[in-house]
Amino acid sequence: EAGVAQSPRYKIIEKRQSVAFWCNPISGHATLYWYQQILGQGPKLLIQFQNNGVVDDSQLPKDRFSAERLKGVDSTLKIQPAKLEDSAVYLCASSLVVASTYEQYFGPGTRLTVT
Amino acid sequence: DAKTTQPNSMESNEEEPVHLPCNHSTISGTDYIHWYRQLPSQGPEYVIHGLTSNVNNRMASLAIAEDRKSSTLILHRATLRDAAVYYCILSGGSNYKLTFGKGTLLTVNP
């Protein structure tokens, strides 16, 4: 079974530029998550989708971050404009459904450096 | 979100058992206890989860206190590949959100 795919793996941009990350979840997984992990901390949930609808985006900085999941499969996360404090690893995860008994499968992440 | 408390770091020797503790005194009756681990430069990986009873799988065992205010992840024979940050997480509510803390950094000595 193929895992969660993310691209790019690494990205370096200057502050005020824009950047986009792509995620392809495990086939058949209805729920998709984007997390931000700053160095030395645990991942923080940014947004959760169930199919193509948003379940939770309470911690997404909506003035600069946006995410979409068209057709309920792939997803993109965009930052515009980037700030220095956005430097982090952005992780995508998926699970079969939204339920506590279903594990989340994580991708390898995209490491973003904002200079 | 209900919070968990874990030691910042622990050390073990290869092929010895490891007991990773977690306190969650504010756990609610419907919260599940999850454990994930994160190897260096990788995304987190599911280890085990439980509600009230002790659980075993191929990776580990989860021992849950009778009052559910604490739990222990048990790795029966640590290997060098088990060196990772281990996160104890409570999940419940309508969307079963995982709220990660800083976890426990496990070092395994050869």
Residues A79 and A89: their CA atoms lie apart, in Å, by 13
Q: A15: pLDDT confidence band, cut at 50, 70 and 90?
A: very high
Residue pLDDT, tens place only, B29-81:
889 999 999 999 999 999 999 999 999 999 999 999 999 999 999 999 999 99
B20 and B72 Cβ atoms separated by less than 8 Å = yes
Residues of B with CB under 8 A from a CB of A: 32, 34, 36, 42-46, 49, 85, 87, 91-92, 95-103
Q: In which region does residue B41 sit, left (phi positive, over 0), alpha (psi from -120 to 50) or beta (all else)?
A: left
Residues B97 and A42: their CA atoms lie apart, in Å, by 14
Indicate the range of A28-32, A61-65, B1-5, B105-109 predicted with least confidence: B1-5
B89 and B100 Cβ atoms separated by less than 8 Å = yes
Nearest CA-CA partner of B35 in B95, B82, B80, B93: B82
Q: B97: pLDDT confidence band, cut at 50, 70 and 90?
A: confident
Tell me if chain B has a CB within 8 Å of the CB of A44. yes
User: Could you tell me what percent of chain B has a pLDDT over 70?
Assistant: 98
The count of other CB atoms within 10 Å of the CB of residue A97 is: 11
Residue pLDDT, tens place only, A36-87:
999 999 999 999 999 989 999 999 999 999 999 988 899 999 999 999 999 9
Question: Phi/psi of residue B72, each to 5°?
Answer: -135, 130
Residue A102 has pLDDT above 90, yes or no: no
CA distance A105 to chain B (A): 7
